[in-house]
Chains A and B, each alone.
Chain A
Amino acid sequence: MFCLCAAPERGDIILDNMAVEVEFLKSIPYFAGFSPAELDSIGKRIFEKVVARGEIILFEGEPARELYFVVSGVVKVFKTSAEGKEQILQLIRPGESFNDVPVFGGGSNLASAEAMGPVVLYGIRKSDLEIMLRDYPRLAQNVIQVLSQRIEHLVSLVEDLSFRHVTGRLAKILLEYAGDKSGERHWLTQQDMAAMAGTAREMIGRSLKFLEEEGVVRLERHRIVIKDKKALKEMAGMAD
């Protein structure tokens, strides 16, 4: 049976269905290859937290005390600039973890995390994680794999943010696919645009917001209206 390993906080719930818990733990990359007995033992150090839509789970800059696994729902991990601009680093889906890096690194939370809907989390406190790493060398190997994948994702995001002129490519796509006077209509999703521009979907959202702030396009419900074709052409590097 899982238990609460410290004084319960608001939203923490004692678990009561062992079969489901072990099945879930088995699906987490952290615990790949663990026996049911090992998972049972690990479960004793895990607590559950239920979070409502919009609730902030972690604040950037606060001491990193726990890492979390998403059991159900989606968690948004993001950073906010001094001007209040938000950059989503990752959407965390069931089976995935967040806040691992600062917990292992011993620092403060690198980003904030918010529940995008009703969310159920499993958490492990830093002190319990240290005991588990000592007791289960296999866990350390699994953690290295998880962190390697995390670094790959972040490097890819850094590459997009630093070197790729996503806005220029998006401008070109918008011009190419804009409906013409012949009545031809084109429909694209942000995912389609991301695939065409060779970037992440998050970057398209960010670029569309930028174009809107610049007054070049207007985002309407299911419509992107090009307000300033000339400026968009300039951004796309297309001559008149």
Chain B
Amino acid sequence: MIEMPVIDQAKCNGCGLCISVCSCQALVLVGNVVTAVETTDCGWCTLCEAVCPTGAIRCLYEIVIEE
């Protein structure tokens, strides 16, 4: 399973701004709600999160200490 941005579908207003800034086609509109498509092309640029006007997208980072 590939980690992808987490989308709160209840918050998504279907504006499509995230899709417009995503350079790897990892986001698609399904029934007026954005859904993430699993792809290794997603480089975690987090632009989708930055432009979302409703805070529906979360690009989570796990914080770890190198052994």
A contact residues vs B (CB 8 Å cutoff)? 53, 72-74, 91, 93-94, 116-119, 174, 177-179, 185-191, 201, 205, 218, 221-227, 229
Partner of B61, one of A119, A224, A229: A224
> In the bound complex, do residue B23 and residue A188 qualify as a contact, i.e. CB atoms below 8 Å apart?
no
Using A222-B44, A222-B61 as known contacts, list a sample of 4 further A-B pairs with CB atoms less than 8 Å apart, ordered by residue number in A.
Answer: A74-B20, A91-B50, A94-B17, A201-B50
B11 → A minimal CB distance (Å): 13
Q: Which residues of A contact B65 (CB under 8 A)?
A: 178-179, 225-226, 229
Q: Which residues of A contact B49 (CB under 8 A)?
A: 189-191
> In the bound complex, do residue A189 and residue B62 qualify as a contact, i.e. CB atoms below 8 Å apart?
no
Is B31 located at the chain interface by the 8 A CB criterion?
A: no
A92 to B1, CA, bound (A): 34
> In the bound complex, do residue B21 and residue A188 qualify as a contact, i.e. CB atoms below 8 Å apart?
no
> Which residues of chain B in 15-56 are interfacial with respect to chain A, using CB atoms and an 8 Å cutoff?
15, 17, 19-23, 42-44, 46-47, 49-51, 53, 55
B contact residues vs A (CB 8 Å cutoff)? 3, 15, 17, 19-23, 42-44, 46-47, 49-51, 53, 55, 58-66
Q: Which residues of B contact A186 (CB under 8 A)?
A: 62-63
> In the bound complex, do residue A222 and residue B66 qualify as a contact, i.e. CB atoms below 8 Å apart?
no
Interface centre among B42, B47, B59, B60 (most CB of A within 10 A): B60
Partner of B17, one of A73, A226, A229: A73
Q: Which residues of B contact A177 (CB under 8 A)?
A: 63
A188 to B43, CA, bound (A): 17
> In the bound complex, do residue B66 and residue A223 qualify as a contact, i.e. CB atoms below 8 Å apart?
no
23 pairs from A and B in contact (CB 8 Å cutoff)? A74-B21, A91-B51, A116-B20, A116-B47, A117-B17, A117-B19, A118-B20, A119-B20, A177-B63, A179-B62, A186-B62, A187-B62, A188-B63, A189-B58, A189-B60, A190-B46, A190-B50, A201-B50, A221-B44, A223-B64, A225-B65, A226-B63, A226-B65
Can you name the residue of chain B whose Cβ is closest to the Cβ of A190?
B46
Q: Which residues of A contact B66 (CB under 8 A)?
A: 218, 225-227
